[in-house]
Amino acid sequence: MGGGEEAYRDALRYFAAVVSGAVGGDGHASSAMKRVGLASGKHALALLWKAALAAYGVEAEVREVRGAFLVTALGGGAVKLARLYFLFGPPLLEGDDRFKSRKLAEAVGLGAGGALGVGWEGLRRTEKGRVAADLTISEGGIAVKYNVYLRRDDILLQFVSTDRSRTELVARLLRLAGVGAEVRKESGRDQWYVYAATNMPAAGRKELRNALAKIVEAAVEKGWVDADKAKRWLEKLEKSRVLREGCPKYNVRLTSDGALEVKLGSTNPDSTEHQAQRLREIGLEEGKHFTVKMPEEGRDGYVSMLMEGLKHAAWLSVYGSGRQRELAAEFVEYILQRAKEKGEKVYEKVLKVVEEGRARGSLKLEGLEGVVEVDGREHVVRVLGGGAEFDEGRCSKPHLRIRITAEVNGVRSEYMITFGRFGKLNVAMGRAYARSDAPGGKEADAERLVALIKALTGREPKVYRMKDGTIMIKCYEGHLEGFMRYAELADDIMKWLEETGHQPH
């Protein structure tokens, strides 16, 4: 490696660390709005940030909002910054919601994508006689080398270091490769480690599976690994491809009205029941997540995936446990592949549904901060807390009340949005009303509420001004999907949707 390249990487690491500190401090990140911003109290420093980001290839704009200067990157520039924050931001601290970085969670959704490089070298025998190799995973100019061991019963991918932050970066790159790795501390020692055995990489991205397969094949050629043992390992690494090739093909398409259909038709009752059983094994429920019609008298039967089922499968692929998570990840990957074969529009529709499912319950309301634009004006939003509750509605169907405590432009208020079911189509609709006793009056209160809803859901609600002076803000099912990203709301929203008898499309 040349000195120039190493110097560039050192400079990149330093720049990324500074960016991470700025975003984690007074900055903000929004995956829904594809936006990352930094803040400064001085105009000169904001302009300096803009110049530094431009040198890195990120276009940003500087605006003054109530005495603060915001440096904001959108679209592709935001993705670049989010990747830096994803790779070099504060620890994920999984398992303890009190200390998770909400900004980092947003950056993960925005920046954990793009091209991934996986290579290997250095096939060797260790002093203990095990076969080992070096595996390198790289993304965005950042590369990490892992040790791969071909053990008696499995393949182990491992990284050990006394540097906690470096080990955290290692785990994040593995997540990019589709492996749900976590950082753990060696008992009684000042060492941190990350490891993944055969089953975990098998559910990862094909770049990783292919590299591990080549290591195994090279070891077999040298006679260092038993051929039967290698065959078992390769079968595990190939199981995602085998799943796709061996699974009857679901028809993934857009109907004439633009709705997404994921359906498997069959004239064979055994095949239809087998596919239904596979969905049950993933953790999906018939009637709630998918429907089944058995073939009768020569007529085709089918297994049809409801959109709620695809979203729940996507959620299980991230938050499920053990084998359930693997099965869900394989199924979602298969459906995405089928969608890609049908064209860009179908793929984008399926990807949107999958991303909504993965995001459910992934964030916390408390501590969420951001800047959002409404009618050309920027609003600073800081959420203090919130929750949801049921209330008696008409026609025996309960209402869902979402309560949010937040500061918008420094004004603290309690906001409530009440959702109910309306019309013959049983459409979910939420209503909120601006308060005349709020600071600045009804118009100011309505503007702050619109900003809050847009910041939380990524969607701007409708505003209606009545003849009697009432200002009503309306939300729809798309806003409910946005609210379901938050742990304080997700379970109650899902329960309300189930009890009122209609799932979101």
d(CA 318, CA 303): 24
CATH 3.10.28 holds for 246-359 = yes
Per the structure block, which two tokens stand in for 449? 């509420």
pLDDT (0 to 100) of residue 453? 94
pLDDT (0 to 100) of residue 60? 83
CATH 3.10.28.10 holds for 3-111 = yes
Q: Is the model's pLDDT at 355 over the cut of 70?
A: yes
Q: What percent of the chain has pLDDT over 70?
A: 78
pLDDT (0 to 100) of residue 298? 62
Nearest to 209 by CA among 338, 332, 357, 330: 330
Domain residue limits, the chain: 3-111, 117-237, 246-359, 369-499
Q: Is the model's pLDDT at 113 over the cut of 70?
A: no
Q: Is the model's pLDDT at 101 over the cut of 50?
A: yes
Helices (H) and strands (E) in the chain, counts: 16, 21
Question: What does residue 127 show for φ and ψ, rounded to 5 degrees?
Answer: -60, -30
pLDDT tens per residue across span 282-291: 888 888 899 9
Averaged pLDDT, 145-157: 82
pLDDT (0 to 100) of residue 96? 39
Asked which of 59-68, 144-153, 456-465 is least confident by mean pLDDT, the reply is 59-68
pLDDT (0 to 100) of residue 86? 67
**Which residue has better confidence, 366 or 248?**
366
* Position 70 confidence tier, pLDDT thresholds 50, 70, 90: confident
Q: Is the model's pLDDT at 504 over the cut of 50?
A: no
The domains spanning 3-111 and 246-359 adopt the same CATH topology: yes
pLDDT (0 to 100) of residue 37? 76
pLDDT (0 to 100) of residue 281? 82
pLDDT (0 to 100) of residue 95? 40
* Position 89 confidence tier, pLDDT thresholds 50, 70, 90: low
The per-residue DSSP string of 265-324 comes to EES-HHHHHHHHHHHHHHT--BTTTEEEE--BTTB-EEEEE-HHHHHHHHHHHHH--HHH
pLDDT tens per residue across span 123-138: 999 888 889 999 888 8
Q: Is the model's pLDDT at 203 over the cut of 70?
A: no
pLDDT (0 to 100) of residue 98? 40
Q: Is the model's pLDDT at 503 over the cut of 80?
A: no
**Mean pLDDT, all residues of the chain:** 79
The per-residue DSSP string of 207-269 comes to HHHHHHHHHHHHHHHTT-S-HHHHHHHHHHHTHHHHHHHHSPPPEEEE-TTS-EEEEEEES-H
Question: How would you classify residue 275: left for phi > 0, otherwise alpha for psi between -120 and 50, otherwise beta?
Answer: alpha
pLDDT tens per residue across span 139-149: 766 778 888 88
Asked which of 18-22, 165-169, 430-434 is least confident by mean pLDDT, the reply is 18-22
Count of CB atoms within 10 A of residue 138's CB? Answer: 16
Asked which of 102-111, 246-255, 376-385, 474-483 is least confident by mean pLDDT, the reply is 102-111
Nearest to 132 by CA among 116, 150, 118, 145: 150
Give CA torsion, residues 277, 278, 279, 280, to 10 deg.
50
Q: Is the model's pLDDT at 181 over the cut of 60?
A: yes
d(CA 503, CA 505): 6
- The top-scoring range by mean pLDDT among 84-88, 181-185, 430-434 is 430-434
